[in-house]
Amino acid sequence: MKIPLILLLSTSALSAAEPKHVLFLAGTNSHAWGQHKHLAGSTLLCEALRETPGITAEVVTAWPDAADLTKADTLVIYADGWQAHPANDKLAELEAFMNSGKGLVALHWATGIQAANPESKDQQEDPRRKQWRELMGADFEAYYAISNFWKADFAGPSEHPVSRGVKPFSLYDECYFHLRESSDAKIDRLWKVQPPAETIEAGLSPYRGNDAARASLHERKEEQYVAWTFPRPKGGRAFGFTGGHFHWSWAKDGARKLVLNGILWSAGGEVPAKGLESKTPDAKRMLAGLPDKNPGWTEATLQKALDQAAKGEVFSWLDFTDKPLPE
């Protein structure tokens, strides 16, 4: 079999460079079947990264000690956020880590830190949130950002290296949007998306409705984003992706490649021209390592659902959290 020269050169360049070490911090599992399964998801992404020569990766489930953190070129946090965020009392340590040129990645709820005053309905000037924005560039801020389930069409890629090799795709997930951005530095928004108007509900709530989001989406018709990069002025690179509520999202090639590219970029690596390649996980692989009682899903029925989702069809995973998938 002939290997395209450009792919051969890209892979060789990566393996010839100094190896990049990725450290995943997987938070406690939460939510229902197949949702917020941080250890299973981190393990899957970790294995996908290891398919590329020149990248090493490991997963831990507790905050890393100084020695482990020093070895890492980037830290990937996939965990519950806000009050459960593992970095709530570690921001000074993360700041020093990034000041040394290291990377930081936050996935799904981990994109939002807990406010110092979580009862406040206006958290823009909250000191902990400001500190988090100085690290990540953007924040899933309570009473400002929006969380709901919808089909995100990733149809307009940016020219950023993180988008290399990622073809347009659709993802049904709980992709947060209308994030609070850093006022001191500019983020790079990747793959602008247009959420349906109904994703924002009436009234004020911590994550489903607020006037600022309604003005942005309903009145000004502004495009939103659910993935971004942040070349931090004080050192280090950050990448955020707000999808990943469903474990099954990692079977989507476009979403997985986007995140793998983002992780490598955050570590200071050069993303290959075709992006980081990884095998599409089948139903057997997706079911491996899930901690909850299986509500009757089989490999055959899950593979059928994954194939539907791969074609861009909406498969409502929420409807089957406590019962078998359709035959």
With a CB cutoff of 8 Å and minimum separation 6, the contacts of 18 are none
**Percent helix, percent strand, percent coil in the chain, to nearest 5:** 35, 20, 50
Q: CA distances (Å), 104 to each of 44, 235, 293, in order?
A: 19, 11, 33
Residue 240's DSSP bridge partners are 106, 228
Per-residue pLDDT tens digits for 105-150:
999 999 999 999 999 999 999 999 999 999 999 999 999 999 999 9
pLDDT truncated to tens, each residue of the chain (327 aa)? 344 444 443 444 454 468 999 999 999 999 999 999 999 999 999 999 999 999 999 999 999 999 999 999 999 999 999 999 999 999 999 999 999 999 999 999 999 999 999 999 999 999 999 999 999 999 999 999 999 999 999 987 789 999 999 999 999 999 999 999 998 889 999 998 999 999 999 999 999 999 999 999 999 999 999 999 999 999 999 999 999 999 999 999 999 999 999 999 999 999 999 999 999 999 999 999 998 899 999 999 999 999 999 998 999 999 999 999 999
Does the pTM of the predicted model rise above 0.85?
yes
Tell me what pLDDT residue 230 has: 98
Strand blocks (E) in 140-252: 150-154, 169-173, 180-181, 188-190, 227-231, 237-241
Given CA atoms 192, 197, 198, 199 in this order, what sign does their dihedral have? Answer: positive
Tell me what pLDDT residue 158 has: 80
**Contact at 8 Å (CB) between 171 and 243?**
yes
- Structural domain boundaries in the chain: 5-281
DSSP labels, 244-274:
-SBGGGGGSHHHHHHHHHHHHHHTTPPPPTT
Task: Specify the CATH class of 5-281 in words.
Answer: alpha beta
Instruction: Tell me the pairing of strands 20-26 and 55-60.
Output: parallel
